[in-house]
Amino acid sequence: MDIKIEKSWKEALKLEFSTDYFQQIPAHIKTEKSQGKTIYPPGSLIFNAFNTTALQKVKVVILGQDPYHGRGQAHGLCFSVQNGVPPPPSLLNIFKELQNDIGITIPDHGNLTKWAEQGVFLLNASLTVRAGEPMSHSKIGWSTFTDAVIKTISSKKKNIVFLLWGKFAQEKRVLIDESKHCILRSVHPSPLSAYGGFFGCKHFSKTNEYLVSKGIDPIDWSL
């Protein structure tokens, strides 16, 4: 597994990289690959969220569960798909809420790299998955690592907006110091739950209102 990671993250997380549990993650992936299993995203993109959004640049955190498990979809940014891949239903619902909230036209692609480049840290709790098997790497150590990432952001930064969509993401609330960060919660944007409170949550405008109130440049949510 390719563990090339941006220097600010490498420094902040160096203790995690040296732990026994973390050392077992690439070993597990290597074993699965030797058994002929396909792992997403490709190795060079596993840490894409970190390499696109340096720690000092983070303004907003969106938390997903694990990468898309279909061919060519995942590229290391939660909810995002690579160019040429149709936006999945949850992402389409995110775009619908964006349109309703701040009037942005629904884009014809699902690549969220532009958000990441502005400081929206698009973190999945698991950074890899077996093809066609959702949550297949949820217990190989990634959640321990990404919990440490959330705690690191909480402790080292201030005035970050955490968007916690759905029960899984909201369980991470305990890792965040609410006295110095903003937490916005709603149901998940999936078709199963979006009408139960995601539509109408106005998280995109609320995020920018909070950032501006703290003297931080807002996010341009257009793609």
Tell me which residue of 65, 66, 70, 85 sits closest to 38, measured CA to CA: 70
Q: Which residues face 170 on adjacent strands?
A: none
Q: With contact defined as beta carbons under 8 Å apart, do 59 and 87 qualify?
A: no
Is position 20 annotated as part of the catalytic site?
no
Please report how the helices 142-156 and 20-34 are oriented relative to each other, as an axis angle in degrees rounded to 10: 140
Burial annotation 69-92 (CB, 10 A radius, 16+ → b, else e): beeebbbbbbbbbbeebebbebbb
Other CB atoms within 10 A of residue 221 CB:
20
Backbone angles phi, psi at 6, to 5 degrees: -50, 145
Which residue has 């992936």 as its token pair? Answer: 29
Catalytic: which of 2, 20, 66, 177?
66
Q: How many residues does the chain have?
A: 223
Positions annotated as catalytic residues are 66
